[in-house]
Amino acid sequence: MSENESNQSRMVGKQSILFKNPPYIISGASIAGKKESEGPLGALFDVIQEDPLVGKDSWEEAESEFMRQAAGKALQKAGLKSKDIRYLVGGDLLGQLIATSFGIAELDIPMIGIYGACSTMGEAMSIGAILVDGGFADKVLAITSSHFAGAEKQFRFPLDYGNQRPYSASWTVTGSGAVIIADQSNKKEASSPDIVIKGVTIGKIVDYGIKDSMNMGAAMAPAAFETIKQNFEDLGVEPSYYDRIITGDLGYVGKNILIELLKEKNYDIGSLYMDCGIEIFDKENQDTHAGGSGCGCSAITFTSYILNQLKEGKWKRILFIPTGALLSQVSFNEGNTVPGIAHAVIVERKE
Amino acid sequence: MSENESNQSRMVGKQSILFKNPPYIISGASIAGKKESEGPLGALFDVIQEDPLVGKDSWEEAESEFMRQAAGKALQKAGLKSKDIRYLVGGDLLGQLIATSFGIAELDIPMIGIYGACSTMGEAMSIGAILVDGGFADKVLAITSSHFAGAEKQFRFPLDYGNQRPYSASWTVTGSGAVIIADQSNKKEASSPDIVIKGVTIGKIVDYGIKDSMNMGAAMAPAAFETIKQNFEDLGVEPSYYDRIITGDLGYVGKNILIELLKEKNYDIGSLYMDCGIEIFDKENQDTHAGGSGCGCSAITFTSYILNQLKEGKWKRILFIPTGALLSQVSFNEGNTVPGIAHAVIVERKE
């Protein structure tokens, strides 16, 4: 028994997992809002929704609709129906995950609801790959969303209030991204080159005492630092093991902090480093200040630009680290800090 | 490869998983509030906190403290330190999981944040067992909490408002429960008889159109029904396969609906059925109306009464089905329905 068990161990180092049968990403879909479509990645999204309400009565229902469409598009691109999906793993930024609950109910897929703030796409892909690699599921849909207007209402002030945004503030991305993760028997021959999830590093909550909900990059950078450093240590690799190291939404403020923190540990990631929050908007022309953020930011950047680069062979292996700021309106108003968390996913192109 | 993969499949029926190496519950801990200590299970809790604020300044910080103590107690009972735990899987009812984020940060354990409303303990134990059975972790801490005052503030009205509660309303349990789930090599010989998690059934979101946040039993009963029925069908078993079928917090209203729904499918669970929300308070003398509810309700009932009954051999195998009502203050105020979800965990005493 113990031999059997050690044979099956996927544990690597302190926090990482390497999969025995790396699960395949057989489909990815991105639904983006108007502002996102006007940014540098605009041409790569599957669907653009010009109307931020998508014809609905509230921001929350609109976000649910983004999610519904992302799930539908990912299924369509894989030639699957929702009944083909064993489990859905997903979440959003709103209290009690209402964008998700109302967005995916009609898909009728058994649901694992998760919350990791803007790190949720990393958490969803990690759990999805765990379910598939362990033989607990053959096909899993991992999905997240965010909505600028819904997030401002939830965390800061309703848009009608006309609050001014400091330069350290990021702009919550309106969009939803979904991937379908499947075992080898369910990969599509036509979808090659194969993209697989090789492993993950589950992050800890890291709290450096930041108290400013308008400066989430600074709150999240230490969490990204801890997770990335642990990934290098657990796997015994240098930054150059990856063609790109891509955080979720640290933005311009968090980026510099992360690079400096890693430099202190003698890891130079400068030339390999990217951040979805920086890529998604044009800093000069889109007035988004520190960059994009939100569960949707890393999700739609991954399912458009990052997957494309891997498929085209421009990158062979990347470390994708969605980053989350663990605050709520209540904890913020009570004067609490904003702890961060980040989960890393190793994605590679299989030759 | 395909033989290897089919050997390792743990999928059973449409939504269920049966583990190859059923993980052990090596420790369970319950921290309960004063009202809970005055109920029928009072003598079974590990720690009673008479002060609902536990010396803190806010309900949210108090709930975090309950969670911190539950984790600490579960570790202590297993003779472990927090660094021995590979991953923590947990959540609570508050927006953006702030009870959890602030409660467990100092434990410094890699964290998987989850949300399933009051079904969260079922989700935590399911993911914990999946991680251990698949070789992704050797020891996992699964934890949830709830707090009466924090939940009323979050979902309904602050206590100072003095809102009247209808008879269909349940009383959110103040407490936190934690279990440590481990593989065979980490089970304690001294902890026998061994209690294992044999399998799980992941639930779907089920929405029967209930719109009353004061009648969550009715909202959750259809979700419990669907998950229990699916468990029977997936495993090909009758209700009598279990010594007890135990829902989380349907209360008196939801109980009757669940029994009737199953009867229509020719499943009679009447004599085997229990509900944590009904067990935890004394209906006649505690004025809790429909019963107890909250993530903490099923968590502290499981880690006290239910684990005890299994250890004492009074029950050999149970189906534990924490039930969740997927609403937020925002979705409720916008006139949305209250969808339900329920996840089932098969727990048995190993002879």
Find out whether B146 and B63 touch, Cβ atoms under 8 Å: yes
What pLDDT was estimated at residue A1?
35
Give the global pTM. 0.96
In a domain, B339, yes or no: yes
What pLDDT was estimated at residue A192?
73
Which of A101, A111, A138, A234 is best to mutate for the B interface (most B CBs within 10 A)? Answer: A101
Q: What percent of chain B has pLDDT over 90?
A: 84
Residue A96: which of B4, B10, B95 has the nearest Cβ?
B95
Average pLDDT over chain A, rounded to an integer: 94
Q: What does the pLDDT average to over A211-222?
A: 90
- Whether the per-residue pLDDT at A7 is higher than 60: the answer is yes
Residue B66 and residue B122 in one domain? yes
Residue B29 and residue B157 in one domain? yes
Give the end of a domain, one of B135, B167, B185.
B185
What pLDDT was estimated at residue B1?
35
Alpha carbons B163 and B146: distance in angstroms, whole number: 20
Nearest CA in chain A to B102: A339
* Count of beta carbons in the 10 Å neighbourhood of residue A83: 11
Find out whether A267 and A241 touch, Cβ atoms under 8 Å: no
Give the end of a domain, one of B185, B218, B233.
B185
Would you put residue B204 in left (φ > 0), alpha (ψ -120 to 50) or beta? beta
Q: What does the pLDDT average to over A71-95?
A: 97
Residue B74 and residue B202 in one domain? no
Give the end of a domain, one of B185, B206, B235.
B185
Find out whether A101 and A94 touch, Cβ atoms under 8 Å: no
Q: What does the pLDDT average to over A54-77?
A: 96
The answer to whether A89 contacts chain B (CB < 8 Å) is: no
CATH number at residue B226: 3.40.47.40
Q: Of B127, B124, B131, which Cα lies nearest the Cα of B178?
A: B124
Q: What does the pLDDT average to over A238-251?
A: 97
Residue B91: which of A21, A115, A327 has the nearest Cβ?
A115
Q: How far is CA A282 from the centre of its chain?
A: 20
Q: Of A83, A106, A130, A340, which Cα lies nearest the Cα of A225?
A: A340
- Whether the per-residue pLDDT at B184 is higher than 70: the answer is yes
Q: Of B272, B248, B128, which Cα lies nearest the Cα of B196?
A: B128
Burial class (CB in 10 A: 0-12, 13-18, 19+), B166: exposed
**DSSP secondary structure string, A256-323?**
HHHHHHHHHTT---GGGEEEHHHHSS-HHHH--TT-EESHHHHHHHIIIIIHHHHHTTS-SEEEEE-E
Lowest mean pLDDT among A69-78, A195-204, B330-339: B330-339
pLDDT in tens, A115-128: 999 999 999 999 99
Residues spanned by the domain of A198? 193-350
- Tally C-beta pairs within 8 A across A and B: 194
Residue B322 and residue B176 in one domain? no
Residue A47 and residue A93 in one domain? yes
What pLDDT was estimated at residue B7?
63
Contacts of A10 in chain B (CB under 8 A): 134-136
Residue B214 and residue B156 in one domain? no
Find out whether B250 and B275 touch, Cβ atoms under 8 Å: yes
Lowest mean pLDDT among A340-344, B101-105, B234-238: B101-105
Find out whether A252 and A217 touch, Cβ atoms under 8 Å: yes
- Whether the per-residue pLDDT at B253 is higher than 60: the answer is yes
Residue B21 and residue B168 in one domain? yes
Contacts of A134 in chain B (CB under 8 A): 8, 10, 130, 133-136
In a domain, B3, yes or no: no
- Whether the per-residue pLDDT at A108 is higher than 50: the answer is yes
pLDDT in tens, B62-80: 999 999 999 999 999 999 9
Q: What percent of chain B has pLDDT over 70?
A: 97
Find out whether B186 and B135 touch, Cβ atoms under 8 Å: no
Contacts of B132 in chain A (CB under 8 A): none
Contacts of B57 in chain A (CB under 8 A): 334
Residue B181 and residue B54 in one domain? yes
Q: Which two tokens stand for residue A48?
A: 């653009």
What pLDDT was estimated at residue A4?
44
- In this complex, do A207 and B105 lie within 8 Å of one another by their Cβ atoms? yes
- In this complex, do A58 and B334 lie within 8 Å of one another by their Cβ atoms? yes
Q: How far is B10 from chain A (nearest CA, A)?
A: 5
User: Where do runs of H (alpha helix) occur along A134-171?
Assistant: 148-155
Lowest mean pLDDT among B104-108, B177-181, B295-299: B104-108
Residue A220 and residue A331 in one domain? yes
Residue B135 and residue B211 in one domain? no
Find out whether A24 and A183 touch, Cβ atoms under 8 Å: yes
Which of A12, A18, A96, A118 is best to mutate for the B interface (most B CBs within 10 A)? Answer: A96
Residue A170 and residue A221 in one domain? no
Q: How far is CA B141 from the centre of its chain?
A: 13
- In this complex, do A205 and B330 lie within 8 Å of one another by their Cβ atoms? no
> How many independent structural domains does chain B possess?
2
Residues 246-265 of A with CB under 8 A from B: none
Average pLDDT over chain B, rounded to an integer: 94
The answer to whether B111 contacts chain A (CB < 8 Å) is: yes
What pLDDT was estimated at residue A189?
64
Q: How confident is the model at residue A18 (pLDDT cuts 50, 70, 90)?
A: very high
Q: What does the pLDDT average to over A280-305?
A: 94
What pLDDT was estimated at residue B187?
86
Residue A46 and residue A164 in one domain? yes
Lowest mean pLDDT among A261-275, A293-307, B154-168: B154-168
Contacts of A56 in chain B (CB under 8 A): none
Would you put residue B96 in left (φ > 0), alpha (ψ -120 to 50) or beta? left
What pLDDT was estimated at residue B157?
81
Q: What does the pLDDT average to over A14-41?
A: 97
Burial class (CB in 10 A: 0-12, 13-18, 19+), A209: exposed
